[in-house]
């Protein structure tokens, strides 16, 4: 016990060495600077994104006013872009929990500059995803019928419906990802509380919970973080499995498959990692954080992405192979329309973007140390993952068992506006967050300095 005490005191001594002390000061200044320096282009970006969000809000209002028929949906395709977007955004939300959670559990030192960027993504994308549930409802003004609370209407939700499992999972996940983002922010709020002026100061004062940096506080924080990290990774796996259940437990040919839930989890992590790489690239580029988000981080992200690409390709192959070999007519019509039929161009683009290009590119060590390249791969993967969600939903629904009812689907302008608006909303929240929280956890970065990361370099 005493020896351990001394070991950790040594860490404190290291902080006293001039080099480290300077680094700590520099870390404070560097990581806080994005919050204080606001250029003109920032306002332009916020204005443009706000306009796009407003356009989407207008389109949604129009849809509520006139009816959900403003979408391109019709029997037999009752779900379209809205549900695809919901699944997509839930997928993106796996970025934070997977990256930050798994890396925290494994105590990977290189996680430090990545966790905050990823956790913010989790929170914002799960918010956007939850919004799509409401956009999708035929009578959104009756959404409270889905909430289990005692009422006079004698209405109670049906927990046998996968959609209720979904609601429970999304609620749990959104709540815990907010907590998971907030916990490691507390020391940073305390730091900022002393350094900001104006309206942000009282806000941080509340959010910092009177943090004083005592060892007791650190201990509680550390304990809570360790426990919640493990739990939230378990929640993450369940959330996308349950989104997968929405499809897998139905009778629709092309959906009814046991591999769908795990396949969804892998796909979600795939798009989540891709989004994190994009975020890393832009945060580093715009705020010149090259000293914090370094090439080694891109290299390691690239390796993880390679692993997930392989996993995704494997799951995808298994799913298609089983259907193709089994040759059940109902399933085959769906598969044929994807492989050779009207959906073939999208499908093969998806295979290229999601599997072939990332596999080749990420296998090259020099490519993984090229941030721009990784960012482009990230964009390709995200495009492909969106196509994948559409390809799961539309061709399957478009080919029900009675051929008389077959149909095609193309989204209407309302759906497309809301889709663009959802991306803008996500970006807008993110851009606004840059002025509100440090993009890299300052105390974790400082802890990294004391762990001797800089000496190893």
Residue 221 CB, shortest distance to other proteins, in Å, is 7
DSSP secondary structure string for all residues of 425-453: HHHHHHHHHHTTS-SS-HHHHHHHHHTTH
Is 86 in contact with 128 (CB distance < 8 Å)? Answer: no
Q: Does the footprint of other proteins cover residue 138 (CB under 8 A)? A: yes
- 211 vs 353, beta carbon nearer other proteins: 211
Q: Does the footprint of other proteins cover residue 440 (CB under 8 A)? A: no
Closest CA to 289 of 33, 116, 1: 33
Binding characters for other proteins, 224-253, by CB under 8 A (x = yes): x--xx--xx-xx--x---x---x--xxxx-
Binding characters for other proteins, 20-59, by CB under 8 A (x = yes): xx--xx--x-------------------------------
Eight-class DSSP state of 355 = I
- 146 vs 311, beta carbon nearer other proteins: 146
Paired tokens of 137: 């409802």
**How far apart, in whole angstroms, are the C-alpha atoms of residue 352 and residue 349?**
5
Residue 441 CB, shortest distance to other proteins, in Å, is 11
Residue 386 CB, shortest distance to other proteins, in Å, is 20
Residues 406-435 interacting with other proteins (rule: CB under 8 A): 407
Locate tokens 């970025």: which residue? 95
Residue 143 burial (CB count, 10 A): 11
Q: Does the footprint of other proteins cover residue 168 (CB under 8 A)? A: yes
Q: Does the footprint of other proteins cover residue 221 (CB under 8 A)? A: yes
Segment near other proteins (CB under 8 A); pick from 317-325, 335-343, 350-358, 442-450: 442-450
Residue 406 CB, shortest distance to other proteins, in Å, is 9
Residue 362 burial (CB count, 10 A): 23
Closest CA to 228 of 179, 188, 175, 172: 179
Is 37 in contact with 406 (CB distance < 8 Å)? Answer: no
- 231 vs 311, beta carbon nearer other proteins: 231
**How far apart, in whole angstroms, are the C-alpha atoms of residue 336 and residue 352?**
19
Residue 224 CB, shortest distance to other proteins, in Å, is 4
Q: Does the footprint of other proteins cover residue 196 (CB under 8 A)? A: no
SS3 249: coil
Residues 370-409 interacting with other proteins (rule: CB under 8 A): 397, 400-402, 404-405, 407
Segment near other proteins (CB under 8 A); pick from 89-97, 179-187, 283-291, 379-387: 179-187
Which member of 43, 62, 171, 314 binds other proteins (CB under 8 A)? 171
**How far apart, in whole angstroms, are the C-alpha atoms of residue 183 and residue 351?**
39
- 336 vs 447, beta carbon nearer other proteins: 447
Is 358 in contact with 309 (CB distance < 8 Å)? Answer: yes
Residues 64-93 interacting with other proteins (rule: CB under 8 A): 66-69, 72-76, 78-79
**How far apart, in whole angstroms, are the C-alpha atoms of residue 34 and residue 44?**
16
Q: Does the footprint of other proteins cover residue 164 (CB under 8 A)? A: yes
SS3 139: coil
Residue 123 CB, shortest distance to other proteins, in Å, is 14
Q: Does the footprint of other proteins cover residue 62 (CB under 8 A)? A: no
Q: HSE, CB side, 13 Å, CA atoms: give it for residue 383.
A: 16
Which member of 46, 217, 259, 310 binds other proteins (CB under 8 A)? 217
């Amino acid at each position: 016990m005493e020896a351990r005490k001394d070991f950790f005191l040594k860490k404190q001594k290291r902080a006293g060495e001039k080099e480290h002390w300077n680094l700590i000061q520099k870390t404070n200044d560097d990581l806080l600077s994005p919050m204080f320096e606001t250029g003109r282009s920032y306002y332009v970006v916020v204005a443009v994104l706000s306009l796009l969000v407003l356009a989407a809000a207008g389109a949604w209002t129009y849809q509520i006013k006139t009816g959900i028929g403003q979408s391109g949906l019709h029997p037999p395709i009752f779900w379209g872009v809205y549900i695809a977007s919901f699944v997509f955004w839930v997928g993106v939300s796996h970025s934070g929990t997977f990256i930050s959670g798994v890396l925290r559990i494994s105590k990977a030192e290189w996680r430090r500059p990545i966790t905050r960027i990823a956790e913010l993504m989790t929170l914002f994308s799960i918010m956007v995803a939850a919004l799509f549930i409401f956009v999708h409802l035929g009578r959104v003004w009756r959404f409270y019928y889905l909430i289990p609370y005692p009422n006079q209407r004698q209405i109670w939700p049906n927990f046998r419906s996968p959609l209720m499992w979904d609601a429970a999972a999304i609620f749990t996940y959104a709540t815990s990802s907010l907590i998971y983002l907030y916990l490691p922010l507390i020391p940073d709020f305390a730091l900022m509380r002393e350094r900001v002026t104006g309206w942000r100061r009282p806000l941080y004062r509340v959010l910092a919970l009177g943090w004083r940096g005592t060892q007791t506080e650190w201990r509680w924080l550390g304990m809570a973080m360790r426990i919640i990290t493990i739990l939230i990774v378990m929640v993450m796996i369940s959330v996308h499995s349950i989104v997968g259940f929405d499809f897998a437990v139905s009778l629709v040919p092309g959906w009814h498959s046991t591999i769908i839930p795990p396949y969804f989890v892998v796909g979600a992590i795939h798009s989540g990692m891709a989004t994190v790489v994009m975020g890393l690239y832009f945060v580093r580029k715009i705020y010149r954080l090259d000293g914090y988000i370094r090439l080694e981080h891109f290299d390691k992200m690239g390796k993880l992405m390679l692993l997930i690409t392989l996993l995704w390709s494997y799951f995808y192959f298994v799913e298609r192979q089983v259907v193709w070999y089994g040759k059940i007519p109902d399933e085959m019509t769906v598969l044929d329309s994807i492989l050779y039929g009207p959906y073939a161009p999208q499908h093969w683009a998806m295979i290229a973007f999601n599997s072939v290009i990332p596999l080749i590119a990420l296998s090259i060590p020099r490519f993984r140390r090229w941030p721009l390249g990784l960012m482009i791969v990230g964009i390709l993967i995200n495009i492909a993952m969106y196509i994948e969600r559409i390809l799961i939903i539309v061709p399957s629904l478009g080919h029900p068992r009675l051929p008389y009812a077959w149909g095609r689907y193309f989204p209407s302008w309302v759906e497309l506006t809301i889709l663009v608006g959802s991306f803008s909303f996500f970006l807008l929240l993110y851009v606004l967050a840059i002025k509100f929280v440090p993009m890299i956890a300052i105390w974790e970065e400082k802890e990294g300095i004391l762990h001797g990361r800089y000496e190893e370099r």
